[in-house]
């Protein structure tokens, strides 16, 4: 891959994930500040899960059949920019949900489009793609530090409970939308074909559910994503309520950890195999919530930082290992569909249920005070800890390590 193309793709990935990171981490804190309750915050975060379900349909209907991928990406980001700017002015929970859902349907397909554009320009994606994809994580880290650290220095106060992160995401979306039209041309992958909704969602992968271990992996992946949503939806609210400052920047330590562990995954996967890696990932989620339950911003602040830094194990050992497992057991011709199916099951269905469950639990342990809504966080965090532990035990009992790779 030519250096100029690699640089273009790297900038694309940096912007792609900096848009998401700009607003996603802190929006729960902002919504609580304008009067949303836990269920309403959970509903808002569920829009991204709905977006993950709709994304393959949008990509299959347009980018894969009629238009060049980079042009579809550009249009979606420009429309998304307008939506995010509009969303930043909405304080009604119902209107906010539908507006953010519209944005999610625009943004989530661009994740797959970014991968498709990258793969099309690469001779050996297995070797070249990780170096490009890592720029996305760096983008998330950079914008997290900007929101959590630079924001207070510029404005004189924390911007996390404000709508400024949403406006920052909108501004970055404009930049990305314009930039996309200057990316290398990526023609439609399936021009002239008419894929069904079932094909777009990878539902033909259901045939592999006849294999017990694959079925356990799929069900376990969906179930573990329910407690995972507690972190994505409410960790920033929790850390702010403990009195921690610059939380968005400190939460970016999780992405730094993700980068470091990502480098270790190939060697550890070859040594430990699928089952041990997935179990370690599930155990890490359980431990993270226990650390949050008993940590505080005083003498036990180290527990909070440990819970944040565990993100590398939580994410890489489960999600990345899961992708490697699918690649190992599914025949080559069905791998893309299978990866899409697992994406819908985890980021879509599992985290969708989790977002609503997290909102209900947080509401159940909320108390109105003169200083605003406060929560019994120890009780809240122990619930997803128990859920993650239960899934881990079931997975340990019923999942079997695959013996051979599927290469046909």
Contacts of 167 (CB under 8 A, 6+ apart): 84, 85, 88
Instruction: State residue 322's pLDDT score.
Output: 86
Q: Place domain 1-201 in its CATH homologous superfamily.
A: MFS general substrate transporter like domains (1.20.1250.20)
Contact by Cβ (8 Å): 236, 28 = yes
Please give the structure tokens belonging to residue 165. Answer: 């992160």
Q: Closest Cα partner for 242 from 307, 169, 194?
A: 307
Contacts of 295 (CB under 8 A, 6+ apart): 242, 301, 302, 303, 304, 306, 307
3-state secondary structure of 60: helix
Each residue of 10-26: pLDDT tens digit? 999 999 999 999 999 99
Residues of the chain with pLDDT under 50: 407-408
pTM check: above 0.75: yes
Instruction: State residue 407's pLDDT score.
Output: 47
Instruction: State residue 181's pLDDT score.
Output: 95
Instruction: State residue 102's pLDDT score.
Output: 96
Instruction: State residue 189's pLDDT score.
Output: 60
Instruction: State residue 192's pLDDT score.
Output: 55
Please give the structure tokens belonging to residue 263. Answer: 């480098």
Please give the structure tokens belonging to residue 39. Answer: 């269920």
3-state secondary structure of 260: helix
Q: In whole angstroms, how large is the CA radius of gyration of the chain?
A: 21
Instruction: State residue 384's pLDDT score.
Output: 96
As assigned by CATH, the class of the 202-408 domain is: mainly alpha
User: Which residues of the chain form CATH 1.20.1250.20?
Assistant: 1-201, 202-408
Contacts of 276 (CB under 8 A, 6+ apart): none
Q: Is 306 exposed, middle or buried (0-12, 13-18, 19+ CB in 10 A)?
A: middle
């Amino acid at each position: 891959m030519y250096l100029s193309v690699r640089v273009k793709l790297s900038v694309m990935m940096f912007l792609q994930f900096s848009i998401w990171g700009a607003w996603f981490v802190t929006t729960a804190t902002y919504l609580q500040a304008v009067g949303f309750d836990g269920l309403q915050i959970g509903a808002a975060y569920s829009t991204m899960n709905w977006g993950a379900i709709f994304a393959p349909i949008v990509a299959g209907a347009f980018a894969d059949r009629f238009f060049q991928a980079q042009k579809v990406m550009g249009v979606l980001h420009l429309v998304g920019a307008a939506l995010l700017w509009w969303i930043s002015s909405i304080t009604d929970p119902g209107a906010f949900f539908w507006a953010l859902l519209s944005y999610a349907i625009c943004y989530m397909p661009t994740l797959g489009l970014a991968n498709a554009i990258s793969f099309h320009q690469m001779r050996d994606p297995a070797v070249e793609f990780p170096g490009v994809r890592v720029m996305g994580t760096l983008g998330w880290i950079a914008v997290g530090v900007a929101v959590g650290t630079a924001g207070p220095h510029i404005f004189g106060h924390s911007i996390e409970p404000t709508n400024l992160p949403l406006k920052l995401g909108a501004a970055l979306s404009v930049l990305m939308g314009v930039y996309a039209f200057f990316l290398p041309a990526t023609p439609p992958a399936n021009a002239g074909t008419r894929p069904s909704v079932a094909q777009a969602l990878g539902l033909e992968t259901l045939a592999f559910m006849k294999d017990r271990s694959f079925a356990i992996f799929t069900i376990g992946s969906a179930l573990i994503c329910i407690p995972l949503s507690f972190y994505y939806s409410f960790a920033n609210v929790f850390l702010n309520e403990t009195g921690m400052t610059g939380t968005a920047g400190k939460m970016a330590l999780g992405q730094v950890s993700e980068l470091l562990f990502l480098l270790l995954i190939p060697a550890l996967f070859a040594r430990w195999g699928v089952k041990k890696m997935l179990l370690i990932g599930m155990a890490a989620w359980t431990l993270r919530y226990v650390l949050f339950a008993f940590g505080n911003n005083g003498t036990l602040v180290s527990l909070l930082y440990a819970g944040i830094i565990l993100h590398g194990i939580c994410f890489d050992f489960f999600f990345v290992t899961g992708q490697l497992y699918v690649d190992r057991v599914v025949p080559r011709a069905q791998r893309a569909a299978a990866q899409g199916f697992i994406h819908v099951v985890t980021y879509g269905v599992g985290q969708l249920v989790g977002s609503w469950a997290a909102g209900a639990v947080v509401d159940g342990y909320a108390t109105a005070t003169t200083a605003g809504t406060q929560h019994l966080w120890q009780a809240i965090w122990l619930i997803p800890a128990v859920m993650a532990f239960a899934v881990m035990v079931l997975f340990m009992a019923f999942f079997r390590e695959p013996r051979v790779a599927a290469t046909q």
